[in-house]
Amino acid sequence: MDNKILEIFIPGPAGRLEAKYFKSKKNTSPVALVLQPHPQYGGTMNNKVVVDTFHTFMENDFSVCRVNFRGVGKSDGEFDNGQGELADAAAALDWLERENFDNSQCWVSGFSFGSLIAMQLLMRRPEINRFIAISPQPNVYDFSFLSPCPTSGMVVYGKKDELVPVEYISELDKRLSAQKGIKVEFNTIADANHFFSKTDSVLVKVLDKYIKKETALY
């Protein structure tokens, strides 16, 4: 049983949160929280990009959790325009850290709307030391709160993202790369759209390479 993905419920601020959890056998394994895309556009923790990200962390021996925000799946509550979802993410991270108090690294990752919540969480939680933002939407959400961005990480996006004009990503890249002491890698996947529909295997390779590189430092 210890090698299985568990279905769990985490106590959240609006009631219980449905989540999937994998615990590494390694005592001081790193931990990662993976956040879902927008609930009002059909986003759940079972979104393909979220599941692929979760499995990539799993295969790199992380203890990893993905969670349904309030009002999604079996999670209590209802959509709260980002504020409540951020509180849900914080509750999930609290739970994950309690389960893995001796973790060696703490990562947060999110896809689309989830990447916004991940980055907001990053600003509030100094123990997070790496992030992966997948298909962020700086044309829809204001990412100016990332000044300064407290830690290094990676942004992955599709060259053919139909929801985000590339100049918004370039602007974010310019702003983050000007910051001292951290390194944010921007990775573009040539034929990918916002959802990596036919390029999911390429996305997994990019994620895996970055995770391996950054965990080797510890």
Q: What angle do CA 42, 109, 129 make, to 5 degrees?
A: 160
Q: Which residues contact 4 (CB under 8 A, 6 or more apart)?
A: 22
pLDDT tens-digit series, residues 6-62: 999 999 999 999 999 999 999 899 999 999 999 999 999 999 999 999 999 999 999
Give the pairing type, strands 130-134 and 31-35: unpaired
Q: Which residues contact 19 (CB under 8 A, 6 or more apart)?
A: 7, 8, 9, 10, 45, 65, 66, 67, 68, 92
- CA-nearest of 105, 64, 108, 102 to 86 is 108
Q: Flag the least confident range among 1-5, 82-86, 151-155, 202-206.
A: 1-5
The arithmetic mean of pLDDT across residues 170-180, rounded, is 94
> Which single residue is written with the structure tokens 């001292």?
180
Q: How many CB atoms lie within 10 A of CB 134?
A: 29
Q: Which residues contact 179 (CB under 8 A, 6 or more apart)?
A: 147, 148, 149
Mean pLDDT of the chain: 96
Residue 128 is classified by DSSP as -
Q: For residues 107 and 131, is the Cβ–Cβ distance under 8 A?
A: yes
Cis ω for the linkage preceding 150 (within 30 of 0): no
CA distances to 27, 34, 67, 153 from 118, rounded to whole Å, are: 25, 8, 12, 11
Residue 3: the pLDDT is: 64
- CA-nearest of 190, 182, 168 to 214 is 182
Does the domain spanning 6-215 belong to CATH 3.40.50.1820? yes
Q: In the chain, where are the structural domains located?
A: 6-215
Res. 161: pLDDT tops 60: yes
Identify the band that residue 1 occupies on the pLDDT scale cut at 50, 70 and 90.
very low
Residue 106: the pLDDT is: 98
- The Cα 50–Cα 37 span in angstroms is 8
pLDDT tens-digit series, residues 106-150: 999 999 999 999 999 999 999 999 999 999 999 999 999 998 999
Res. 2: pLDDT tops 60: no
